[in-house]
Amino acid sequence: MRVVIATESFPPEVNGVAHSVLRTAEHLVRRGHQPLIVTPAPARGASSPAHTFGPDATVLPVVRIPSVPLPGYPQVRLALPSSRLGAAIAGHRPDLVHLASPFVLGARAAVEATRLGVPSLAVYQTDLAGYAQAYRVGGALGAGAAWHRIRTVHRAAARTLAPSTPAAQDLTAHGVPRVHLWPRGVDSLRFHPRHRDEALHRALAPGGEVLVGYVGRLAPEKRVDLLAGVGALPGVRLVVVGDGPSAPALRAALPGAVFLGRRTGEELARCYATLDLFVHTGPLETFCQTIQEAMASGVPVVAPAAGGPLDLVGHRRTGLLVAPRDARAVTQAVAELAADRPRRVAYGRAGRADVTARTWEAVGDLLLRHYAEVLAEHRGETPPVPVAPVLPMTPMTPMTPVAPLLPVPAEEQPA
């Protein structure tokens, strides 16, 4: 099968879209298919080396389209109109066009696919309406315009794949048709409890504090500022791993935190496994890959009861879900688990058990079933019998909001 993957982001960028596209393309090659990646070019002068993988150092073919920085967030690139896009798609002679988090480049790729008579499949990964509000782009009108754009692009696709149950429900509620579930995988060999480094723990928490960490981009929509109360808890040391436009403001807002900057590969796996507790604060996650990576590392999780985390975190089984955008609830949850090491250990083990079957291989094969069904429908054939995802997810029914945590009794507060 020949597949064009039009993606708004690709390595060397570091985010969920770039990572999932990379792993998807690698899986296609391993299964004998021929992907072509089309993505915005990085800033002039920035390095964009060829991506190789596997024992044979297979090179993934990538076409980079001229781009400009997103105003206010230059790390994000927006593809400019270019004949290179149409030429790349037509030249690859695809059976299917895969639109990864389509908005600008993806919308144009959808038009090209239609012009060529090729079916397209859209993967929803970014809460663009929520981002419009977080960045105050047009206020409520900005969110409405974002949903209009999402509907327009996704209605042109043969089907839309959502990464979580809440994301699928949100899309359907806003008029996007033909929505199916396609979650994300995690490398549970790379992210593993055995990578815990006690020497690193002592260096980060020399007083024996409970090590609480956030991993991810430092940007307004991630609401890392909600961790100010966590950083002030006695017996707790806050660690922040990542980089982004909010880094300077967060360093000022979280004076007691240790900022490690961006970490990747084995170093990132070691950071995860060395944590005693992982906390995520972003209320706009359609999935949240960092939660899966923390769970694979055997680390309990505190996360907002919104979006993707609702599928991932078993409340009071693998972690605690708290009211979104509620700094007090986050602080209370961290205090509760910081005071209870046996429960942290139990939650960490349960979380690890939950994610070990969610391999990128299993997720990739599920995607190939979606491809096969789309192609069969396009040809007017009877599609293969749909196979339900075999990836265990936290039960999502009924989808009732999780109440804010009750105040932690004084006798349970960390000493």
Amino acid at 183: P
SS3 199: helix
Contacts of 310 (CB under 8 A, 6+ apart): 164, 165, 166, 321, 394, 396, 399
Phi, psi dihedrals of residue 374, rounded to the nearest 5°: -65, -45
How do strand 67-70 and strand 73-79 relate by DSSP bridges? Answer: antiparallel
Query: If you search the block for the tokens 């504090």, which residue do you land on?
Result: 209
3-state DSSP helix/strand/coil percent for the chain, to nearest 5? 40, 20, 40
For 76-100, write each residue's pLDDT tens digit.
788 999 999 999 999 999 999 999 9
The SS3 call for residue 229 is helix
Whether the full predicted model's pTM is greater than 0.85, yes or no, is: yes
Confidence of residue 407 (pLDDT cuts 50, 70, 90): very low
CB-based contacts of 281, cutoff 8 Å, min separation 6: 214, 222, 223, 224, 226, 227, 304, 330
Backbone angles phi, psi at 100, to 5 degrees: -95, 115
Q: What is the pLDDT of residues 290-346, one digit of tens each?
A: 999 999 999 999 999 999 999 999 999 999 999 999 999 999 999 999 999 999 999
Q: What is the DSSP letter of 104?
A: S
Q: H helices then E strands: how many in the chain? A: 15, 17
